[in-house]
Structures are given as C-alpha cells and as structure tokens.
C-alpha cells in the first residue's frame, strides 16, 4: 500500500509546470507555523495514512504477495527485537571504552561499527550501512548519534522508549518506495549530523537544537506514500482536505511524528510545556522541507548573509539555520559522490515514473516529471540541480564561509551536473537517430566531454 514522490525538471517550461519556479512566490521564513497548523496540535494515529487506492497500488500484485510482505515485516520486527535484546546495552554490559556505547550485536560489530566511527565523513555509504545493519540503518544510526552527542544523558532518555520510538519511525517508512523510505531518512540524518558538526554551527548549537535537528531529519518523511502533493489533491485524498491543500505531506509527517512521540512516551518525563515546545519546533522544521517554500527561505537566508546580521546566539536564528540545514540535507543527493548520487537519482525518478504509470492507467493527467516516455533521468536531474540544489547550496557555502565540507559538496555538485549533461546529450542523440526529424543537439561540454561518459 505504498506509492511514490516528486522532484526536478529539465527546462524552464517544465520547471514552471512542476513547481520549481512556483517556489519563487509566497510564504514566510520566520520559523512560525501557518495558520492552518496553529492552535491545538492534533497528533495523527500511527499508520493513519490510508491506501491511496488498493486497485492502483496492487494492480501488479500476485497471490501471496501481501502475505509474503507481512512475513517480511514480521521477520524484520523479530530481527530488530533480537538485535535490541541481545545488544550489550540491554544486557547491561559496560562499554569497553569510555564514551562509547555498543548498540550492534557481535555479528555486526566490525564493518558497521567501523562505519559508525566515520559517520561524520561525507563519503558515508548509507546503502552499505543499511545492508550491514540488516535494514535497521535508521534505528542504529540514531541511537549512535544520540549517544555520541550526549543527548541520552542530557535529556535522561529511557533507552527502551527510545528504541520503541525509533522502531516505530523506521517501520512507518514504506519500504516499497524506491526513494522515500527509511534509508533516505537515514541518509538525511547522516547529512544533518555533518552539518551540525560544521564549526560555525557546532560552537553555538544547544543540546536541544541538536536533538531537534536529528529528530526532524529522521522523521521528516515518515509514512510517505510515494506520491506527491498534486496527486493527493487531484485524487481528493482526505489529507489534502485536512491540511487545506497546503504542505499536505509535510503536515502529515509532522503529526505522525507527534503521534509516535506520545505513543512511545519518549518525552513523558519532561515538563508538559517543554514537550509541547519540542513538538511545535519539530513541526516548524519538518514543514520547512516543503519544496514549494524554497524561495521564502532562500530569500531570507540571502538577506541575513547580505546584511551580515545572522546571530546564532539568538534562538530564533539558530532555529532558522536548522531549517536551512534540514532543507540542504533533504536535497543533498546531487552533492554526494557520483556513484551514491546516481543511485538516489534513479530511485527518485523511479518513484516519479510509478506515479505517472498510475495516472496514465486511471486516465489522470500525468504530473510533470512523471512521464517516463518524455522525462529522462538526466533531464530531471539537471533541472533539479539548476533550480533547487545549486541556489540553496551556494548560499549555504556563503554561510559556512566556506567550510571544507561545503567546498567538497559543491565540487561533487558541479561534477555530477556535468555528468548528467553528458548523459542527456547521449540520450537525446539516440532519440534523433530513432526520430530523424529531431534536430541533433550540441553537447553542453563539447564533443570530447560528450564522449567521456562515466
């Protein structure tokens, strides 16, 4: 019962249709919630996202497929329970070295533990880490980061409740989504940790800031159905009505997170006003990931940088930078090294194409970027990089003044864009040979570059 999401465009026209340029209108970047989200916070029940349409999502299923999916989910749950109960932590054994907390079973100590020791490096391979942790990358990563950041001790968190909450979050990501799944959440969380470690931020952030940043990263797409907001609106999904067609998915991710926080009792030992403030700030962070609000945040960030009035000693300014950091982490795939970046690009486009196939099957208008027959992966990625990623990371680089990490990310970004440009040229060239009436394109990087495809 899962589905797929949306991303970038190749041309200005497609950009306008898909919303990359709609990003240039509306909104606030003051960290406050929209009126529709204010007032009494209603937490959604876990798993409250109903199927988009069983006929749509199960059209290709074979007998026994649902049952086998249930068995897989149960197997993973049991595996996670064994992993929790067999861990050194829950057996009460002391860590071998001060400051370390062993959260992996003996079978996984080794490569996975070695990867965690380098979790603050930008070439961290989340796909490999997910395999080494038996599909528990998000839970394992979050427990490790909460420990090394001192959050478990600072907030006196109950480890059983923490595992329960993180297990809920991980399970509520739809594993059938090629892109919006728990591995994406873990990838965003790892990127967020790298940004939090940036010198300019690390010196100013409070434990609460770090807690909010990591929690929002881990849960920012929880229970994502794999389709985008326009799909929910045009199919008259109840969530579109509930959130008045505004930040529909992001609002659901937030409310679902609040529901899981309350169900797990993770914050039940904190004063009521503090836990409510945490819930509201998590909402402000998660809602900031709405791509339609890109321009409001970008304009505000530029104004702060131009005026040189960013004061990270102010809680409101720290919160705003956390919003920007989360937005960067959410769309940082083009800033990873090519092999990782390419995998993410293919995954997100697969989600688009699945949505397009559903729309075509049920005689709905095919959404921009979702038509596999006309929207190629290279064209989609070039549009995404040009209109969304580059403008955001250029300002982030200015903010970090620039840091070594931001220089590495921008280097990968430019190389990856060049790779997609060459691949688009090859793709278009192949089409001209199939359809001779189409004018043969010129390679953007010259003929020599066009021949040098990675």
Annotated catalytic residues are 180
Structure tokens at 192: 């967020």
Per DSSP, helices labelled H in 288-337 are 294-307, 315-330
Q: Is 43 annotated as a binding residue?
A: no
Q: How many helices (H) and strands (E) does the chain have?
A: 23, 0
Three-state DSSP class for residue 155: coil
Q: Is 102 annotated as a binding residue?
A: no
Contact 320, 284 (CB under 8 A): no
Provide Rg for the chain, Cα atoms. Answer: 22
Q: Is 158 annotated as a binding residue?
A: no
Contact 43, 262 (CB under 8 A): yes
Contact 188, 288 (CB under 8 A): no
Q: Is 244 annotated as a binding residue?
A: no
Query: What DSSP character marks residue 175?
Result: T
Q: Is 381 annotated as a binding residue?
A: yes
Residue with tokens 């040229």: 425
Neighbours of 130 (CB within 10 A): 21
Q: Is 220 annotated as a binding residue?
A: yes
Q: Is 154 annotated as a binding residue?
A: no
Give the Cα separation of 95 and 139 in Å (integer): 19
Give the Cα separation of 50 and 61 in Å (integer): 18
Residue with tokens 């003929």: 447
SS (H, E, C) 390-446: HHHHHHHHHHHCCCHHHHHHHHHHHHHHHHHHHHHHHHHHHHHHHCCCCCCCCCCCC
Question: Angle at CA 126, nearest 5°, toward 338 and 216?
Answer: 110
Q: Is 180 annotated as a binding residue?
A: yes
Sign of the alpha-carbon dihedral angle for 248, 253, 258, 259: positive
Q: Is 447 annotated as a binding residue?
A: no
Binding residues for AMP: 180-184, 221, 330, 381
Binding residues: 180-184, 220-221, 330, 381
Binding residues for Zn(2+): 184, 220-221, 330
């Amino acid at each position: 019962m899962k589905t797929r999401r949306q991303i970038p465009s190749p041309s200005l026209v497609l950009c306008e249709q898909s919303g990359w340029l709609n990003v240039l209108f509306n909104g606030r970047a003051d960290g406050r919630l929209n009126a529709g989200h204010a007032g009494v916070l209603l937490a959604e029940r876990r798993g409250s996202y109903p199927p988009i349409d069983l006929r749509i999502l199960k059209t290709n299923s074979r007998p026994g497929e649902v049952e086998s999916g249930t068995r897989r989910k149960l197997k993973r749950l049991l595996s996670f329970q064994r992993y929790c109960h067999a861990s050194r932590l829950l057996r009460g054994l002391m860590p071998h070295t001060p400051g370390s907390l062993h959260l992996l079973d003996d079978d996984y100590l080794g490569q996975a533990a070695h990867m965690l020791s380098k979790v603050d490096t930008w070439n961290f391979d989340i796909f490999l880490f997910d395999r080494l942790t038996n599909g528990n990358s998000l839970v394992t990563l979050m427990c490790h980061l909460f420990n090394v950041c001192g959050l478990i001790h600072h907030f006196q968190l109950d480890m059983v409740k923490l595992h329960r909450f993180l297990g809920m979050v991980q399970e509520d990501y739809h594993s059938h989504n090629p892109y919006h799944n728990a591995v994406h959440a873990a990838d965003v969380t790892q990127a967020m940790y790298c940004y939090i470690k940036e010198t300019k931020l690390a010196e100013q952030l409070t434990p609460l800031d770090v807690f909010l940043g990591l929690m929002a990263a881990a849960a920012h797409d929880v229970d994502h159905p794999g389709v985008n907001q326009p799909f929910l609106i045009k199919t008259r999904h109840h969530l579109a009505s509930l959130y008045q067609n505004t930040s529909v998915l992001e609002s659901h991710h937030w409310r679902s997170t609040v529901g899981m926080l309350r169900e797990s009792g993770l914050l039940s030992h904190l004063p009521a006003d503090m836990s409510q403030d945490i819930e509201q700030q998590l909402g402000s962070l998660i809602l900031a990931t709405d791509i339609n609000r890109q321009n409001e945040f970008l304009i505000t960030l530029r104004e702060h940088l131009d005026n040189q009035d960013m004061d990270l000693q102010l809680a409101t300014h720290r919160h705003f930078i956390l919003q920007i950091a989360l937005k960067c982490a959410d769309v940082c795939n083009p800033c990873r090294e090519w092999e990782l970046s390419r995998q993410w690009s293919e995954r997100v486009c697969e989600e688009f194409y699945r949505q397009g196939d559903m729309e075509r099957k049920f005689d709905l208008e095919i959404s921009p970027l979702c038509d596999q027959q006309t929207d190629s992966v290279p064209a989609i990625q070039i549009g995404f990089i040009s209109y969304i990623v580059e403008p955001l990371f250029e300002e982030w680089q200015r903010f970090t003044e620039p840091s070594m990490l931001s220089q590495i990310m921008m280097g990968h970004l430019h190389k990856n864009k060049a790779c997609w440009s060459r691949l688009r040229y090859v793709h278009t060239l192949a089409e001209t040979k199939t359809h001779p009436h189409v004018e043969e394109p010129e390679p953007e990087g010259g003929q020599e570059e066009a021949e040098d495809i990675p």
